[in-house]
Structure 1
Amino acid sequence: MMKRFLPSSLFAQVLVSVALALLISQVVSVTLLYRAGEDRRENAAVTTAAFRLINGSQWAQRTAERAERQRFREQRRRLREAGGETAERIAQDRLPRRLRYTVSPQAPSGIAEDLRRPDLTERLRTVLDGEDVTPRQMFVAVIPASDDPGIQRLSQRRPRPTASPTWQDHQVVIAAIQRESGGQWETVRLLAPRPPQGALGIALVQTIVTFAFLLIVLFFVLRRLTRPLATLTTRVTEFSHDPDTVVELEETGPADTRRLIAAHNTMEARIAALLDEKDVMLGAIGHDLKTPLAALRVRIESVSDDDQRDKMAASIEDITVTLDDILMLARMGRKGSLETEAVDLGALAIGIVEEFEDLGDPVTIINPQRLVAQVQVTWIKRALRNLTSNAVRYAGTTQVSMVRGENHAILRVEDDGPGIAEDDIARMLEPFSRGEESRNRATGGTGLGLTLARAIAEAHGGSLVLANRNEGGLRSEIRLPL
């Protein structure tokens, strides 16, 4: 299931994998930065609360008021520049003065235990320890402004300051300490700093821009790495279809890829040289063997015993036919060996069947269709003869037909013989493999018939398919593209 959604090429797989890794890392980075910003704001609030508690109500009150006024003026200036909100809106972000620092005999009530923050309490303890203040008890809580008991009591007496819906978005940091056992509880309240407006949007834009930049760079880097491999793949495919044309690829890309291209260039040149040497060797074999065989065929005419002369002639003919088969098979696939012409395959099949009928073999043709294809006539006839002669030799009664497939023509040969074991079908297409294990040519042939038929079909861009029939016997099909 997973493979269905993955791209197939190396370039696309690496690009998608690295892009996903970059996206995940960017999301994690933004999340961590956002969380770090939240922690910094909370720690700043706790530090501010700590110094208000250290210095007591009066000095802390004056300092806080000056800081509040300064913050108020700064916010008003920024909002005025942005053309956004009014001073009334800013005033709604400020706690009433009487709530900022309070002293009472009891600890602040109405604060649930799960709202107390041990991490911020430890931060407050650290700041106080640094100023030689060691309270007996302390806690820090962060609660919604609407849940704070002090704000609730104030809203009952003076509902106007806290009536705005803006308070629903605020959180209040409450820091309370008791300096000595049985002493007063000093409580500081301040609004938790909110993240700057648009901070998350800015972070997302930065993430998208960074991700897009890295992806573009990665795209061009991967193209540089994989383009030589794509060129090499194309060249290997071309060379497999036309091994006579040698092309030396330019060595580009990383060092490993350049070494691979260099090795391919060397291999291609050696294969082409070996093929040329093979053709020279085959020509020599054909000349050096056929000439003595022809001379031997003339000499046996002087043998007086007719039976012996016929046996000797048959042996020479067997050697000649086997030599022709070997030479033809070896030359398959060479450039210029396939000279095609438009041929009516139905008429061709009829001609082959008539040849076997003239010899008295039980071969018939069934409703041949008229299909024209570009083929090498001699080779296709040779392939169809091989399949038909095999069927006659092993089964007897044989039917030949010419039918049309989706995009190919099918020359079909069917018999009523024993067929071939499923495990042996692939082996029978190999050179010198025979269904009859004896080496008698009259019963088993040379073992090259099916191999030649497959090679001829593949040389035309087609295939040879062997299959056992459900009703018994073997079906052989030469499939040629139209």
Structure 2
Amino acid sequence: MARLRGALHGLWPRSLKGQVLLSIALALLFAQGFSAALLYRAQHARQESGLLHTAAMRLVAAHRSEDLRGSERVAPETPREGSGAERRAERRAERRERMDRFRSERVARSPIAAGEERLAHDEEELGEILRDQDVNVEQLLVVRRPVSADARAQMRLKLRKDPFSEIRPETVLVASMKVTGESDWVVTRVFVPQTERFMLQTLFMQTLFIYAVLVGAMWLILRRITRPLAALTRRVAHFAETRDADGQLAPQGPDDVRHLIEAQNAMERRVLALLDEKDVMLGAIGHDLKTPLAALRVRIESVEDEAERGRMARTIEDITRTLDDILSLARVGRPSDQLEQTELYALVASVVEEYEDMGDPVTLVEGSRMAMQLRPTWLRRALRNLIGNALRYGKTAQVTLERDGRDAVIRIVDEGPGIPADKIALMLEPFTRGDPSRNSETGGAGLGLTLARAIAEQHGGSLWLANRTGADGSVIGLEATLRLRG
């Protein structure tokens, strides 16, 4: 059941247009199928009733007609006199007479062959019709057989001259009765028309026509609705990535969609206004705080105690670094620099070389070379934060660049104690540090990983942290995976 549900879910369309059209098609199929079943049943019952009434009328006429009694031998033709029209009329009369004789006949034995299946329901209904005509039926037999198995039916087909003679019936209904007090059987044959097949073809063509009209009309309506929705989706994705005010959509489509586009445009303008206010506020904070910090840095030079002066200088540097991280994190959503075509391996190698020049144990594994649209300044900042975090807690850092389809995957591996499993997700939140002591050796405000994740998301990617385990299951380090969407 689960496999079937999964298969149906895979076949179910994802788009609004596809789901509505498929729902309408399925509902129409169910309605048309139910209607066709009812029509077929009614048509079948009507045809059965017509066949039995025709058979009954012929049996009654044969029973009451003295012309059908006696021999079935046809009198020999006599020379005809008169005009050609009269002779043609006589020939037509003779043909009708032969047709009538083939429709009904009297025989000494029942024409039903051994092994033929009798139609009990038809016999019961035919008996009721005959009793209504005051015919005392002693025995009644009704069967159906192929025309090819009935010589009399084949003779009748040869005598038929009507516009529908090319539609040859394949089945004949044979009804025979024995009237009380008589020894002969009265037999009649009624061809079963092939109307059911033509009715099914008509219903099929009708269904196709309804499908074409209804589904076509719904497709046009849904297209008018979904086109502006698709354009709005692209606009929202573009705005989320670039925060660009240009390119807002003009209201279009039905009123509901127009109101949605207008609301989106208003929200974009409000978001941009808030971001502008935030930038102004952060700029003022940065200016108002950095100026007194610089003044303090000058004033501590007058402190005679060198140890105290060093502690004060480190405190000022921590405040300055924290302020820079806060400002960077606030501005990462609206970078001023544009995307540039960058050779990613060369960029990663340049960052690793900075640490190698300072003697830090950072290594770069030979990897794939690939060019991508990046913001190099921000990506260098993210790599420095991740490598610095690995050196701070793991003492070493190994950097690897791999290609995964169109994406780039950068892994920074250390040999530190790792992070408790229940705190890995928390470490990516602002102001969360692995060392809660906040000593100078593991300093920082806990914004490095948060800023690296924001930069990855700025490039359409992600940042994941995971503990590395050894053969015995113990933690042997931490792995940071930076994925950049290609």
Which TM-score applies when normalising by structure 1? 0.75
Cα distance in 2 between the residues matched to 1:297 and 1:454 = 32
Contact 1:419 1:473 in 2 (8 A): yes
Residue aligning to 2:87? none
Residue aligning to 1:81? none
Residue aligning to 1:46? 52
Contact 1:117 1:139 in 2 (8 A): no
1:447 counterpart SS class:
coil
Shift of 1:197: 11
- Residue by residue over 1:28-77, the C-alpha shift from the partner in whole angstroms, topping out at 9 and shown as x without a partner, is 54454444333323212222333445566345979xxxxxxxxxxxxxxx
Shift of 1:386: 1.0
Contact 2:318 2:444 in 1 (8 A): no
Contact 2:59 2:104 in 1 (8 A): no
Change (3 A) 1:251 1:294: same
Residue aligning to 1:74? none
1:468 counterpart SS class:
strand
Cα distance in 2 between the residues matched to 1:34 and 1:462 = 60
Shift of 1:325: 0.4
Shift of 1:330: 0.8
Shift of 1:144: 0.8
Residue aligning to 2:332? 332
Residue aligning to 1:283? 283
Contact 1:432 1:447 in 2 (8 A): yes
| Structure 1 residues 85-164: aligned runs within 5 Å | 97=101, 100=104, 102=106, 110=113, 115-118=118-121, 121-122=124-125, 125=128, 129=132, 133=134, 135=136, 141-144=142-145
Change (3 A) 1:364 1:146: closer
Change (3 A) 1:9 1:299: same
Instruction: Say whether residues 1:243 and 2:243 are aligned partners.
Output: yes
Residue aligning to 2:437? 438
Cα distance in 1 between the residues matched to 2:168 and 2:341 = 89
Number of positions where the alignment pairs a residue of Structure 1 with one of Structure 2: 441
**Matched residue type, 1:2:** L
Shift of 1:444: 5.4
Contact 2:169 2:193 in 1 (8 A): no
Residue aligning to 1:399? 398
Residue aligning to 2:232? 232
Cα distance in 2 between the residues matched to 1:193 and 1:404 = 74
Contact 1:43 1:120 in 2 (8 A): no
Residue aligning to 2:170? 169
Cα distance in 2 between the residues matched to 1:300 and 1:354 = 34
- Residue by residue over 1:258-304, the C-alpha shift from the partner in whole angstroms, topping out at 9 and shown as x without a partner, is 44434433333322222222222212221222222223323333333
Which TM-score applies when normalising by structure 2? 0.74
Residue aligning to 1:190? 189
- Residue by residue over 1:184-238, the C-alpha shift from the partner in whole angstroms, topping out at 9 and shown as x without a partner, is 7874523134135983545544443333233322321222232232222222212
2:144 counterpart SS class:
strand
**Matched residue type, 1:379:** W
1:322 counterpart SS class:
helix
Cα distance in 2 between the residues matched to 1:385 and 1:271 = 31
**Matched residue type, 1:286:** G
Cα distance in 2 between the residues matched to 1:273 and 1:140 = 93
Shift of 1:476: 2.5
Contact 1:300 1:313 in 2 (8 A): yes
Residue aligning to 2:213? 213
Residue aligning to 1:478? 482
Change (3 A) 1:272 1:366: same
Cα distance in 2 between the residues matched to 1:352 and 1:147 = 94
Shift of 1:384: 1.6
Cα distance in 1 between the residues matched to 2:8 and 2:62 = 65
Change (3 A) 1:172 1:60: farther
RMSD across aligned C-alpha pairs, in angstroms?
A: 4.1
Cα distance in 1 between the residues matched to 2:122 and 2:196 = 26
1:442 counterpart SS class:
coil
Shift of 1:341: 4.6
Bigger Cα displacement from structure 2, 303-312 vs 401-410 = 401-410
Cα distance in 2 between the residues matched to 1:361 and 1:373 = 28
Instruction: Say whether residues 1:390 and 2:395 are aligned partners.
Output: no
1:115 counterpart SS class:
coil
Residue aligning to 1:84? none
Cα distance in 2 between the residues matched to 1:371 and 1:116 = 82
- Residue by residue over 1:68-91, the C-alpha shift from the partner in whole angstroms, topping out at 9 and shown as x without a partner, is xxxxxxxxxxxxxxxxxxx9xxx9
Shift of 1:332: 1.0
Change (3 A) 1:34 1:173: farther
Residue aligning to 1:447? 446
Shift of 1:397: 2.3
**Matched residue type, 2:392:** R
Change (3 A) 1:478 1:196: closer
**Matched residue type, 2:338:** E
Percent identity, please.
46
Cα distance in 1 between the residues matched to 2:400 and 2:121 = 90
Change (3 A) 1:284 1:26: same
